[in-house]
């Protein structure tokens, strides 16, 4: 990933800053044929790279109701994951689920508790997309390499859009700012802990003006840290 790219470019350990924007791009959401949107009917794909891996339609056609429920709960925190999963399995037995519109209908009908201001299929679509693209695995792999790329004093900025991403980023930055771990009771100085990052301020969230002009920014969280020597 990023370490190899930096190595090939001859800039490993010399980069001034890295900005990681974890959001799905607006064109991906707005183009129905990409299969991400529950607001527009299109092929049920959801792959970032449509030429690689299994599509959402293929996975939903083969997964058990337990596997579907686990994904909905783990990656979307769907409150009625089991009920939605059973509805998906029942619907596919009647006819294949091949479009985003059809999946959104099934999820909406099976979801009795709609969150205010959110489409009832939001969390389910998020969960399936994250699973299909291995987004959290890729994020953890990226964070595991990014310190090899930054120079001392270089900065890492990450914009996340849901709690699972933000939790991973927050934990990574916090742990790297604390440094090495020692058994309880072992006397060590701050220098001996060898922290690798310095946290720069608190998490930043969009204000009312920004969310009004760009509603898709409403869940964004920006965290920034600086690479130490």
| Cα(179)–Cα(168) distance, integer angstroms | 17
Structure tokens at 142: 């990226």
Q: Measuring CA to CA, how many Å separate 5 from each of 11, 14, 225?
A: 9, 13, 21
Task: For the chain, give the percent of residues with pLDDT over 70.
Answer: 92
Binding-site residues sit at 21, 28
Domains of the chain by start residue, with CATH = 2-24+135-227 (3.40.50.150), 31-132 (1.10.150.170)
User: For residue 183, is pLDDT > 70?
Assistant: no
Kindly state the average pLDDT of the residues 141-161: 97
Kindly state the average pLDDT of the residues 92-117: 89
| Residue 188 confidence (pLDDT) | 55
Structure tokens at 84: 């939605």
pTM score, two decimals? 0.85
Kindly state the average pLDDT of the residues 131-147: 96
Longest dimension (CA), the chain: 66
Alpha helices in 150-194 (DSSP H): 163-178, 190-193
| E-assigned strand segments in 93-167 | 150-160
Task: For the chain, give the percent of residues with pLDDT over 90.
Answer: 70
Kindly state the average pLDDT of the residues 142-164: 96
Structure tokens at 40: 């527009």
| Residue 88 confidence (pLDDT) | 98
| Cα(213)–Cα(190) distance, integer angstroms | 44
Q: β-pairing, 150-160 with 221-227?
A: antiparallel
Burial class (CB in 10 A: 0-12, 13-18, 19+), 189: exposed
| Residue 194 confidence (pLDDT) | 83
Binding-site residues for S-adenosyl-L-methionine sit at 21, 28
């Amino acid at each position: 990933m990023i370490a190899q790219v930096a190595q090939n470019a001859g800039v490993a350990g010399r980069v001034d800053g890295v900005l990681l924007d974890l959001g799905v791009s607006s064109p991906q959401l707005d183009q129905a044929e990409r299969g991400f949107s529950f607001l527009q009917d299109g092929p049920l794909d959801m792959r970032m790279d449509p030429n690689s891996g299994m599509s959402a339609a293929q996975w939903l056609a083969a997964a058990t109701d337990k596997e579907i429920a686990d994904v909905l709960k783990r990656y979307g925190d769907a409150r009625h994951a089991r009920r939605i999963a059973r509805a998906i399995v029942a619907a596919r037995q009647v006819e294949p689920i091949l479009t985003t519109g059809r999946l959104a209908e099934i999820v909406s009908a099976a979801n009795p508790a709609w969150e205010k201001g959110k489409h009832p299929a939001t969390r389910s679509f998020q969960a399936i997309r994250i699973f299909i693209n291995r987004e959290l695995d890729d994020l953890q792999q990226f964070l595991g390499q990014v310190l090899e790329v930054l120079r001392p004093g270089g900065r890492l900025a990450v914009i996340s859009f849901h709690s699972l991403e933000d939790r991973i980023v927050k934990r990574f930055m916090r742990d790297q700012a604390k440094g090495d771990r020692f058994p309880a009771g072992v006397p060590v100085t701050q220098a001996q802990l060898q922290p690798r990052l310095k946290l720069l301020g608190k998490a930043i969230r969009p204000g009312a003006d920004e969310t009004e002009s760009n509603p898709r920014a409403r869940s964004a969280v920006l965290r920034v840290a600086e690479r130490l020597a």
